[in-house]
Structure 1
Amino acid sequence: MKLHTLVCFLGLATGFASAAENPADYPQQAPLTLQGEGPWYRLQVPMAVQLAAKHADLRDLRVFDKEGEALPYALNVVSAQASSTEHSATARLFPLYGAAADPGQQPGLRIQRSTVGTVVEVLPDTPPATGERRSGWLLDAGDADFPFERLALDWNSSAEGFQHFRIEASDDLQHWRPWGDGQLARLSFNGERMDVSDIPLPGQKARYLRLLWASGQEAVELKGARLQGRTDMAAATPLVWSEPLAGRRESDGSFRWDLPLALPLERVRFSLDPAQQHLMAPVALSGRADKGQGEQEGWYPLARGVLYDLPMEGRQVRQDELTLAGSPVRQLRLVTDERGTGLGSAAPSLSVAMRASELVFLARGSAPYSLALGKADAHSASLPLSVLIPGYDAQKPAPIGQASLASPLQGASAAAQAVGEGNWKRIGLWAVLLAGVALLGGMAYSLLRGGKTSA
């Protein structure tokens, strides 16, 4: 019985020794700055941390105290696709004529305002004044009650080319606020037809949109317009951007960029060369993710669009971003239409963005605390948020302080100096534990030997 107890205790002690975390196993570390009372603190994981991790799901992320003890934490890795509720609404279309393009002065439109809102009605058989061009369109979103993220237009054009217009929003047809610029394009490209008909919007609500073409230009004919957006927690989660990543130009003229691991990208931004005047480049972006064992999948399309930096109406207008669907991507390839100006001989730098992950940890032990990651064979130690914070209710969140990186990630050797004398205390505790394990092993061996001698 005595021997059995000793052997069991020896097994538990050995298992505890092997399961304990060691900060030295995590090659990338950074000290944390805390604000608020705690004891729980929240950190929006920066993109630099995401790119330095060994695993896209951040299973190798840990938080340590001064003594080198791992702290309990919960990690919310946002999946925008899994939790999104998509919305779509058809907008009513009204053509606008003349230079002013004021809906209140348009032939064929009657504006009624009352306590319940503003209503636009079409008057039958009311043609525009002779010689007036169609200078824009008024879109009535009706009762659509969601943030507008994209505008899909069904349009006619007698020739290929580009259509540029200004976007404004209003709730009463009197006060208008700018929503940026829109770009339509219809081109034949490498034996394929490229149709850019989706316009990104800022993710805000409005009752009316106004699309205004430049002075002297006639607006295209619109046959339909749909507003798209989503409402969910993921939509409210901000995007985190990387620093510009260097690329390379391939022998076939395409541009390539490599990420350290496959990430669910939602947006990319290109560093357009300001020295290149009147830049306009139709582009096709494709990507691929690791397939495993050194093999890779084939390229699949991610986005098409037009990148440009052009003077328009007395100001410089730039479009340097493309929107992606959030699928995991590790390599990116960009092909430009040779009929455009191109992007230059050297590959532009590329910044990538994804939904931010949120880390919540329970502060205990002594400060300073540090964030650590980079252990290749790490397993996730994340707890459910309801376990980390007993009685947690998303509708009534507990008071949680804010954490931020006090300095960029650094190698474990430099981070160890910041930990200081706390590590020596931890080493001493481990030495005592290992000495105890050795003593127990010796006692077990003596008992076993004594049992054989008596036999």
Structure 2
Amino acid sequence: MTMWRVFLITALVWSGGLWAEPEKALEQNDFAWGITLEPGASSPFYQLPLPPAVYEGVTRGDLGDLRLFNGKGRLLPHELSLPPRIKMADESLAPVKLFPLFGTRTADLQLLSMRFSRSTEQGQLTLEQRQLHRDRNEVLRGYLLQLWDGEERPAIRAIKLQWASESQGFIHPLRLEQSDDLSRWRPLASAAVMADLGYSGERLIKREIELPKKTARYIRLTRVDGESPIELTAVDRVIKGRSVIQPTSILNITTIQRGEQPGDYRFELPGRLPVTGMNVIPGEQNTLVRVSLYSRDDEQAAWTRRSSGRVYRLQVNETPFEQTSLTLNRTSDRYWKLTVDQVGGGLGEVLPTIRVNWLPHQLQFAARGEGPYLLAYGSARAKAAQAASLLNGFTPLEQEQLVSQSIAVGEPLALGGPAALTVERSYDWKQWSLWGVLILATLLLGWMAWSTLRQMKRADG
């Protein structure tokens, strides 16, 4: 019995070693295709839009069979992200009119503010700088700001205070009041502080004050404790950047098939492209129809409605009048169906022109080791890569300095070829040995239990 137990323990330990054997690391030939990336400048990180060929060659919808290799064939950490469809432009600065308010400590701030006002020819109230006589007992009480001229109010997010660099070692809570006519003032809800502190070689500066969305034209700035504020050299308004629609790539669909039902058209994308919109252009002039777009990721799956609307292509007094765009939530489905309402004759005999708008992923990777680098894709063996956050902890400005987009993208080339897209069926002696050991161990355990039970019965007898 002892020998059998020793054999059983040895077999289980050996089978555990088979289970624990690490999986073979991915190599370049485990992928069907690759694209060479040649850096144009030295940088720790690089970023580029994912080439269209990658979408055509991957086997996974999540792009999990994509890897980066350096010149020595070692894997590199990478990150994929989808850029927003609408991007905010950078903020801008513009100076505002700044008027110091000098007066005695008991003087009415209202009267001090009105000293700079005048009426324009259009009847508007504005401020202008005047050379005023300042008495000896007058001190700086605060500042009067005019945020903008004219009728249209700019999209102001904040104001930015400027003072002389030698003015350090202060922190002042501020009172902000707003007015449209310089006579009726109301407090701004947001708390405000200006500060310039230095300690152990470090300098902490707080000069920006956030403003509510609908701030009035005039702002009066004073200290909460009534003392004289630090002398300002200028005040800038921070104007919000306007939203800009990201430019998209365009794919012209060359193969469109008519469906079984009248008004149905089917087409397929070459890969799982992140689609953001489509243009459906009628083939015949003076066509106005209502259409619906459907998609699915698998040919056997049910259709999902993505968008609908009217499209038309008209000629009015020899002037083209068109509406062909359909917006939709971003999707990476490959199979599409266009359904056209047949009221009014549909699209006629001529097939429509379909243009797909899509926004590629942004690929970032760490440039470890020497180049050229290789973007490999298309593999049945590769599993989804663990998500990596390469630039967490860095500010947007630091990220801009660390990441270079100066990189040349080569043409697709074959690595493992189509064979890498299928799982190779081969005899795995380790797997068969493992199963054999487990089955034998199970039989031995059963035999040992049966033998022990027989001995117990004999002892009882």
TM-score, with structure 2 as normaliser: 0.47
Of structures 1 and 2, the larger Rg is shown by: 2
TM-score normalized by the length of structure 1? 0.48
